[in-house]
Structure 1
Amino acid sequence: MSAVTQGISRRHALKLGLGATAFLASAGLTASLSGCSSSSAAPGFSVLRASDMAFLRAAIPVMLDGALKGVSLSGAVDQTLQSLDRGLAHLSPEMLKLTQQLFDVLAMAITRGPLTGIWGSWEGADADAIRHFLEHWKNSSLNLLRQGHSSLLQLVLMAWYSRPDAWVPCGYPGPPKI
């Protein structure tokens, strides 16, 4: 056992995890209560808000890297956003609330910087910085960040691959005809 793992007790790890959970929950709640996040949908969407768009427009190309052969990047992002919006509209109110809290944490500068390493706006973040943030969350020692990564990835990939025109580049012929 290394000196590093010996220095971190189970109790310390639990305290750290609880502290991070409380921080993220209070940040999302603060954003909702302070008006930092709008509850109204962006024009042309039924659920996604304007505050969600900057993050999603920056992250979707990175998350779909390698899946966009022969497809326009801007078209793929727009189509994925529309598909994601339709999917979110069918979530239970509680699941939608949790998803919006995750987007709020990523939108607020006070939480975005420390949690993602993206200190400026999402529009100014380059693909490598976004890739690093996603990798950091994926491999985090905090379960809440790993869950956030998994949720983001699943939402975006389901939105992209739910569309029939996304099947052709990966060789999927579609569901069998009944």
Structure 2
Amino acid sequence: MQRRTLLKLGLGATAVLAVAGGGLALLRPGLEGGRMTASAKVVFKAVARGVLDGTLPKDEVAREAALEAHLKRLDDTLAAFPRATQSELSQLLALISAAPGRSTLVGLHTDWEAATAPEIQQALQGMRTSSLAMRQQAYHALRDLTNAAYFADPQGWSALGYPGPLII
């Protein structure tokens, strides 16, 4: 394959992905009225399982309760974001909640709900170390939002060995 053909193929694929992602974001946004849609909650719950593995409770019932509380905190946080930030995040969530976007942008070929924590971690690591800035930015957004919302709750601090703020 010649270099020119490869460049044309890459540009064509990028254009198709952008149009498909934009159309998908209009049809199934990740945020509606500043709140997460059901598909966005599935994405963030899976990301939390990958990012927070080892800090979540071991008991399944306690683990689910912690994840649900995390999603509530995250939803409240996202609702306070500026409209422009919400719009960008909505587009990202719409794109990666669909199979083509999840596979292309995240590198995860299993549904979010069915993916194991190691599979999610491997996909996130691929995003983190990608040569594409867009994949790295998406990784940082997903990871940072997950960590910020989870560790905003003092109950999560013990997993880090953080005793809490000093009383002065």
What TM-score results when the alignment is normalised by the length of structure 1? 0.76
Residue 60 of structure 1 deviates from its aligned partner by: 0.9
Judging changes above 3 Å, is the alpha-carbon distance between structure 1 residues 36 and 163 closer, same or farther for their aligned structure 2 residues?
Answer: same
The alpha-carbon distance between structure 1 residues 128 and 70, as it changes in their structure 2 partners (threshold 3 A), is closer
In the TM superposition, what is the alpha-carbon distance from 1:173 to its structure 2 partner?
A: 2.5
Match of 1:117 in 2: 107
CA spacing shift, 1:21–1:165, aligned 2, 3 Å = farther
What is the count of residue pairs matched by the alignment?
A: 161
Equivalent position of 1:62 in the other structure: 50
Cα deviation for residue 140 of structure 1 reads 0.2
Summarize the alignment of residues 83-94 of structure 1 with structure 2, pairs less than 5 Å apart.
83-94=73-84
Whether contact under 8 Å (1:138, 1:150) holds in the other structure is: yes
Task: Give the whole-Å Cα distance in 1 for the aligned partners of 2:92 and 2:71.
Answer: 16
C-alpha separation in 2, matches of 1:68 and 1:90? 25
Question: Residue 39 of structure 2 aligns with which residue?
Answer: 51
Q: Note if 1:128 corresponds to 2:118.
A: yes
Which structure 1 residue ranges, 4+ long, deviate > 6 Å from structure 2?
A: 18-21
Gaps spanning 5+ residues in structure 2: where?
none
| Unaligned stretches of 5+ residues in structure 1 | 1-7
- Residue deviations 1:100-154 (CA, integer Å, cap 9, x gap): 1111111112222223333342222222221111011000000110011011100
Q: Distance in 2 between matches of 1:97 and 1:137?
A: 21
| Letter of the 1:128 counterpart | P
Secondary structure of the residue aligned to 2:94 is helix
Which of 23, 29, 32 aligns to 2:25? It is: 32
C-alpha distance 90-124 of structure 1, shift in aligned 2 (>3 A): same
Give the TM-score taking structure 2 as reference length. 0.80
Change (3 A) 1:107 1:69: closer
Q: Where does residue 75 of structure 1 map in the other structure?
A: 65
